[in-house]
Structure formats: C-alpha cells, structure tokens
Chain A
Amino acid sequence: MSRLSDANVAIAKEIISRYPRPKSALIPLLHLSQEQNGYITNEAMAHLAELVDVTSAEVYGTASFYEMFKFEPVGKYVINICGTLSCALMGSEELMHRAEHKLGIKAGGTTADGLITLEHAECQAACTEAPCLQVNYRYRFRVTPADVDSLVDDLRAGKLSDEIPAHGTLAKVRQHIPADRGVGVVAPEAATTAPSWFDGKAAL
C-alpha cells in the first residue's frame, strides 16, 4: 500500500493549503510519501498527482531530478559519506574504503539484510567539521575510520533508533499554522493590488 495513509493525506492537505498553487507542495509531499514508505513508488506518485492536480508523469519528472528521492527500496539507514574538497583533504576516501570493507558492499549498494545503504555524497555544509557523513541526514563530524566501524556496529545493534528515524523521515517537527493566526495564501492572480498594510503609514 503506497498511497498516502488517511493521516498523511490530512498532513498533505495542510501543506498544500499553504501554497498559492498546489504543485508547489510537490517536493514536501514526495518527502511525506518517502517518509511513509521508505522510497517513492509509482502508486504513490499517482496519488500525489491526484492531490496536486497534475499528471503522474509530471510528478515523476520533478521527483527524478532530485537526489534524495529513491525509486527502489533502500536500507533503513542510508549512510552518505562526503567526498568534496574539504572532506577529501581530511581523509574521506579512507572512510569510504573502511565503510565498504565493513559493510561488504560498494558505494551505491545495500547490505543483504536491507539495513544499510552506502552512498557517495557531495558537500554537506559541514566543511569545517571534515571529514563528515550523514546517516539519514543526521550528521557525524570529524569521523575516523574507527568511528565508521562503531557507527555500523551501533546501527546493527539498534542502538541509534531513537536518535535516527528510518530513512525518509526528515524533520520530526512539522510547521503548523493555527487557523486563527494564518493569513492564508496570497494568490498571484487575485491579489493584484498593494496589500492594505502597505500604505505609507507606520503599522504600529
């Protein structure tokens, strides 16, 4: 079952309601779908297409452009090792070798038990903390090869399941705009005059 659940449809509708055009919600909704299923299925894309009123092909067109969306199952944990300059200078290649050896797979692969996927990544905006990696987009800084071993051991032993949710979940807090506090969308075709507060006088 890879359509969004009823609970997630409610979340999706709230997200859609914040944009002047529903298609703008597509990337957040793809994330929601990936959070639910671990990856993006055809059925999921068809459902999202209904929700934002575009074709499935358009959904795939957008989704396939972005690195984070997976169209086949990946591990519960995706390890991304940064290999861009700052990390390379500080030994990221060694980390990748160590991870490949420890996991018995090559970068791009998933362990036979489906627990861990290993990937090459590009600059993670933590260059001063090089070399670094992310596990499901949670950081590890100044990583040594020995750290890679213990990270894998901890993941296998389930020791990090509180800290690191399964692949697909990003922020654990969602934005929620209370009905009495929100302004609502400002539609490009409807609001063609200056906002009423933009009147040359102080607002307070």
Chain B
Amino acid sequence: MTGTYAHATGFYAGDRPRIVTSRFEHADSFTLERYLATGGYQGLRAALSRPSNDVHDEVKKATVLGRGGAGFPAGTKWGLTPDGVFPRYLVVNGDESEPGTYKDRLLMERDPHQLIEGCVIACYAAGLSQCFLYIRGEMAQAQERVAAALNEAYAAGYVGKNILGSKFSVDVVLHWGAGAYVVGEETALIESLEGNRGMPRLKPPFFPAAIGLYGKPTIVNNVETLANLPWILTNGADAYTAIGTTTSPGTRMVAVSGHVKRPGVYEIINGTTTFRDLIYGDDFCQGIRDGNELKAFVPGGGSAPWFTPDQLDIPFEGPQAGAAGSMLGSGAIMVMDNTTDIPAAALTLTRFYAHESCGKCTPCREGGTWLERILRRVVDGKGTDADLQQLIEVGTSICPGDFPHASSTRLGLTAVPFPYKMTTICFVGPSAYTPVHSALTLFPEEFEARVTKRTHIPVTAVGVGE
C-alpha cells in the first residue's frame, strides 16, 4: 500500500513527445521554483507580447480538442461568446469523476502552475474577466497544491493585478465541490458554482458561451485542455500540429486500468496510437495480467459502449471510435480479462449512473434505479428471461431508437455514432443503460446462464427502436 502520496503515482513517461506531463518526474514539480526552472510562464510572456486576438488565432490554429469528453476545439468555443457582451467568465472543469478517468487530478497535483498559466492565457485571449477553478470536492491534495501554487503565483505577479507588469489583470479563484458526479456536466457545474444544487440546465437555448455563470457568457474548459496552452504559446501552433494527426493534433492523456500488467496514465500521441498499442505495447500496459485473455474493454470512460478484441486495431481517435459505435470520452480505458463476470461488471457502472442521477428527468431517475434493481437480481441469480427483456425496454425508454453497438459485426446491426437519441437532459440517463446494453449484446450467454426459465435472449429487440 502506498502510504503518503507517492511520486507521480502510476504515470509512465516512455519515449514519446510530452506536452502536459513534461515535469512529472521531478519530485518538486508542483513548486514555482521548479516551474520557472523548466520554462514555466514563458507561454504567458509570449502571449502578452501579442494582441489578444492573435493569441486566440494561434490556439484556433492548434485545434486543441476539448479533453473533458466532447472533443470540441477550444479556440472555436472561445469564439462563440456573443460580440460585445461582457463580462465573460472562465470556469475550469476540474471535477474529474467519470469512471475510469484519471488525468486531471494528476495535472492539478503534479503541475498546478501549468494549469494556472493556461487559465491566464485563456482569459487574455478570449477577454474573460474572472476565472473560477472548480476542483472536485474529494480531491484534498489537488485543492491543496493548487491553492499553494495560486498563492505563489499571486505573490510573484503571474496572476492578479498587472500580470508580468503589463496592463492585463485577472483573478483566478479556487473553488471546490462536495461530491456529485453530474456536476461535471458544464451547466450543472455553473449551477453549483452559483451555490445551487448541481442540476444540468436545459440547453439549447442556454449554451454557457452565450448564457452561463450569472447569466453571462462563460467558457467552460477541462483542466487538460487548458494545460496545453502554455506549451502552444511557447512553441507555436505549428509545432503542436506537427504531433498527432490533422484532425486530432498534439497529445492526450489516457488512463488504462483493470486487468493489464501495467495499469497507468500515459501521455500518447493523439490519433495514431491504437488500443492494441495501449493494452499490449511494451511502452504501455504490456498485455493482460497472469497470461489471461482479453475479453472486452471500455474505450472512453464508463459512459462509452464497450469494445471487444476484434476492435483492438482502432486508433485512439475520436471520429474512428465514433464510427465503430463508441467514443473516447475522457481518455479512460478499462480492461476486462476472461475471468471477468460480465453482468457483475456492468452492474458496477449501471449502479454508478443510477446513483448519480440528479433526479430532474423521470426516465433517468426512475429508469436508472429500475435498471440497477433488475440487473442486481440477474447477477444474484434470481432473475428470469423476462428481466432481460425488461432491461432492454427500460433502456430504450431512456434512449430510444437505433443504438450504437460496441460490436456491430457480431450482431449484424448497424453502428450509429454518438450521440444517442435522448429523452433526458444530459448523458447520465443513457449512461446507466450503456453498460447493460454492451454486456447484453456482446455476452448474451453470460446472462442466459444466470437467469431461470430461459427461452431466448431478445437481443434482436435491440436496435430496432421501442
């Protein structure tokens, strides 16, 4: 057991370009002294030497895809604030809680100054007047490191009034949550920051860039997204786009967990690394533990439809994972070997989303609980085949219509890319069904073996709507 916080726990550098994790080996990577000794705040200096719109253009040119889940380019998002409407705010999403995801916490604990520098650059580029950095409540150490770094940065003139002696001034305010997964959704994050229950707002029409915090234009960006900015302003967008692919430039952080030999967090080249590289590569997870076989994996956080071994050669790239019926989400792969009890594995995820429902939409509030209860019955060996039918019925009432398939070829069904057709405000509702759906369509025999009075598993009912 690792007693106190071990040094950059579970991070493996390898021999790859590093944009956001370059300081992780240093034991004191979180201090201002180390940051300055390793190129820190150079990107900010470069940015402030140019007009704001120039800096904004540079970030647009770099095409920094949002790392919080949706993959929307940051520079484009900044351009969506309505002309002439002020003040504009920046809200930093450090609420990391999607099952499987572990990167933002590492970035906040190990390199808080890099994040702070990214925040200040974003404010300058997009004309944002105040920044709120929202850290998940359960992350005591991240809160501590960011607080200490902010105190250092204020004292040294990198944040606050007249930054670097210039005419540019902005405050970065540390804020912390109190335990609610759905608050990671950007409109719920804003509600929470206003001191309310963290329930998502209906959007459209109120996208935060137009109507956000206190009803004003608000940019919400993920921690990792912003952590890329200092490097881009120091080295230029061209250097950034030289790494990765045209549609997915740069690098991104990926956490691989579960039944692999070397679970860990890796900064990978965007777009080209395949799931096979990540799970089997010597430089990555080095294969499945104990000489076992791979059974299935969740490719992009608990909300993502599952993949099977025949999909290992898909690159870790948004559009390609989408075409195969899933998504990369927040950069989290969870690996299951042949010893895995599939219905029980699905239950842990369904329970998560059912438990985290904010209760605003009936299909999510009621449906999630139903799914959990029925699945629990099946896992406990007390289910019937009618329960399986009901899982599908409840699921399709949460997200009706054609459903993306983790392994479309196996079932001869057409894969439909995200997003789902939804009856709910946010993604939590559908996410309660995703694991059930993946498990049931990919491994029907495991459910069959679990229920009594088996007749057939109604997998064909899936994908043809209600």
B345 near A85 with CB under 8 A, answer yes
- The reply to whether B336 and A191 form a contact with Cβ atoms under 8 Å apart is no
Bound Cα distance from A26 to B194, whole angstroms: 8
Cβ distance A129 to chain B, nearest Cβ, rounded Å: 5
Rounded to whole angstroms, the CA-CA distance of A127 and B298 in the bound complex is 13
- Known: A68-B137, A141-B6, A143-B1. Is A171-B155 also a contact (CB below 8 A)? no
Q: Are B86 and A193 in contact (CB under 8 A)?
A: yes
Does A2 make an interface contact (CB < 8 A)? no
For A69, the closest partner residue in chain B by CB is: B178
The answer, among B5, B194, B197, for a CB contact under 8 Å with A24, is B194
Pair A122/B161 contact, Cβ less than 8 Å: no
Query: Given the complex of chains A and B, what is the CA–CA distance between A34 and B303 in angstroms?
Result: 33
| A203 contacts partner chain B, Cβ-Cβ < 8 Å | yes
Interface size on B, residues (CB 8 A): 102
Does B422 have its Cβ within 8 Å of any Cβ on chain A?
no
Chain A residue contacts of B236, Cβ below 8 A? none
- Contact, CB under 8 Å: B87 / A191: yes
- A200–B53 Cα distance when bound, in Å, is 7
| A200 touches which of B9, B51, B179, B194 (Cβ 8 Å) | B51
Verify A127–B332 contact, CB threshold 8 A: yes
Q: Are B171 and A128 in contact (CB under 8 A)?
A: no
Report how far A195 CA is from B9 CA in the complex, Å. Answer: 41
Tell me the minimal C-beta distance from B196 to chain A in angstroms. Answer: 6
B322 within 8 A of A: no
Cβ A24 vs Cβ B102 within 8 A:
no
Query: In the complex the two chains form, what is the Cα distance from A143 to B2 in whole Å?
Result: 8
Judge whether A170 and B140 touch: CB under 8 Å: yes
Bound CA–CA A92/B105 (angstroms): 21
A100 contacts chain B at the CB level, 8 A cutoff:
no
Total residues of chain A contacting the partner, CB 8 A: 84
B101: interface (CB < 8 Å)? yes
In the bound complex, residues from chain B placing their C-beta under 8 Å from that of A84 are 99, 302, 348-349, 352
B412 at the interface (CB under 8 A from A): no
Q: Is the CB of A23 within 8 A of B178?
A: no
Q: How far is the CB of B22 from chain A (nearest CB, A)?
A: 20
A65 CA to B169 CA, complexed, in Å: 35
Question: Which residues of A sit under 8 angstroms from B197, Cβ to Cβ?
Answer: 61-62, 65
| C-alpha gap A185/B85 in the complex (Å) | 17
CA distance A62 to B28 in the complex (A): 38
Which residue of B49, B160, B163, B167 is within 8 Å of A196 (Cβ)? B167
One of A18, A125, A192 near B173 (C-beta < 8 A): A18
Listed stretches A3-11, A102-110, A131-139; interface member: A131-139
Instruction: Out of A26, A147, A177, A186, name the residue touching B129 (CB < 8 Å).
Output: A186
Residues B195 and A197 in contact, CB atoms below 8 Å apart: no
Q: Decide: A123 near B215, CB < 8 A? Known: A27-B195, A170-B143.
A: no
The proximity string for A residues 10-37 relative to B, scoring 1 for CB distances below 8 Å and 0 otherwise, is 0000000011110111111011000000
CB-CB contacts of A88-129 with B at 8 A, as 1s and 0s?
111000000000000000000000000000000011111111
Contact A183 B169 (CB under 8 A): yes
Q: Is the CB of A20 within 8 A of B99?
A: no
CB-defined contacts of A69 to chain B, threshold 8 Å:
178
The residues in A between 19 and 71 inclusive whose CB is less than 8 angstroms from any CB of B are 19-21, 23-28, 30-31, 52, 54, 61-63, 65-69
Which of B169, B174, B332, B336 has a CB less than 8 Å from the CB of A89? B336
Cβ of B256 under 8 Å from chain A = yes
B263 at the interface (CB under 8 A from A): yes
- Inter-subunit contact A195/B129 (CB<8 Å): yes
User: Closest approach, in angstroms, between the C-beta of B434 and any C-beta of chain A?
Assistant: 12
Q: Is B164 an interface residue (CB 8 A)?
A: yes
B50 interface residue per 8 A CB criterion: yes
Chain B nearest CB, measured from A126 CB (Å): 6
The chain A residue with its CB closest to the CB of B134 is A27
Chain A residues in 8 Å Cβ range of B164 = 204
In the bound complex, what is the Cα–Cα distance between A195 and B99 (angstroms)? 39
B420-452 to A contact mask, C-beta < 8 Å, 1/0: 000000000000000000000000000000000
CA distance A152 to B178 in the complex (A): 25
Contact A24–B195 (Cβ < 8 Å) = yes
6 A–B contacts, CB within 8 A, in A order: A20-B130, A65-B198, A125-B101, A137-B140, A188-B87, A204-B49
Known: A24-B195, A178-B155. 20 other contacts (CB 8 A): A52-B195, A67-B179, A84-B349, A85-B302, A85-B334, A88-B348, A123-B98, A123-B101, A123-B302, A123-B352, A127-B257, A127-B258, A127-B334, A128-B264, A129-B2, A183-B169, A193-B86, A194-B84, A202-B49, A202-B51
